[in-house]
Amino acid sequence: MCGIMGYVGPQQAGPILVDGLKRLEYRGYDSAGIAVSNGDIRVQKAEGKIANLESLIEGDQPNGTIGIGHTRWATHGAPTDANAHPHADPSGEFVVVHNGIIENFQSIRDELADRGAEFSSETDSELLAHLVAQEYDGDLVEAVRRTVALSEGAYAMVVMSKLEPEKIVAVRKISPLVVGLGDGETYLASDIPAILHRTRDFLIIEDDEMVIVTAEGATVETIGGDRIEREVTHIDWDAGQAEKGGYEHFMLKEIHEQPDVITETLGGRLSEDGTVRLEGVEFDDAYIEALDRVWITACGTAYHAGLIGQEIFRRVLRLPANVEYAHELRYANPIIGPCELMIAISQSGETADTLAAARIAPDHGARMLAITNVVGSTLSRYADDVLYTRAGPEISVASTKAYMAMLIGQYLLALRLGAARGTVDEELAQAVSHGLHQLPGAIEEVLGREQEAISAAEEIVDAEDVYFIGRGLDYAIAMEGSLKLKEISYLHSEAMPAGELKHGTLALITKDVPVIVVLTQRAVYDKTISAVQEIKARGGRIIAVAYDTDTEIEKYADTVMRIPDMDDLLAPVAAVVPLQLLAYHVARLRGHDIDQPRNLAKSVTVE
What is the rounded distance in angstroms from the CA atom of residue 100 to the CA atom of residue 152? Answer: 11
What phi and psi values does residue 3 have, to the nearest 5 degrees? -110, 135
339: annotated active-site residue: no
Which residues make Cβ contacts (< 8 Å) with residue 116, sequence separation at least 6?
Answer: none
- CA dist 95 and 329 (Å) reads 49
Element spanning 113, H or E = helix 105-114
Q: Which of 2, 22, 244, 401 is catalytic?
A: 2
Cα separations in angstroms, 96 against 152, 216, 269, 391, 533: 16, 22, 24, 23, 61
Beta strands in 520-569 (DSSP E): 541-547, 559-563
d(CA 101, CA 267): 7
Greatest Cα pair distance in the chain: 79
* Residue 366: how many other CB atoms lie within 10 Å: 20
Helices 571-589/401-421 angle, 10° precision: 170
H or E segment and range at residue 72: strand 66-72
Task: Give the strands of the sheet with 227-228, arranged side by side.
Answer: 87-88, 94-102, 153-161, 168-173, 209-214, 217-222, 227-228
Dist. CA 583–CA 588, nearest whole Å? 9
CA 489, CA 482: separation in Å to the nearest integer? Answer: 11
Length of the chain: 607
Q: In the chain, helix, strand, coil percent, each to 5? A: 40, 25, 35
β-pairing, 233-234 vs 293-298, is: unpaired
CA-to-CA separations, 149 to 25, 48, 131, 173, in angstroms, rounded:
30, 33, 11, 11
555 is catalytic: no
The amino acid that residue 383 corresponds to is A
Q: Are 343 and 295 in contact (CB under 8 A)?
A: yes
Report CA 53 to chain centroid distance, whole Å: 26
Cα separation, 287 vs 285, whole angstroms: 5
Active-site hit among 49, 162, 527, 602: 602
- Return the DSSP state at 270: B
CA distance 445 to 485: 22
| Tally of CB atoms within 10 A around 480 | 29
**Which of 267, 269, 574, 274 minimizes the C-alpha distance to 432?**
274
Residue 329: half-sphere exposure toward Cβ, Cα within 13 Å: 26
> Active-site positions?
2, 602
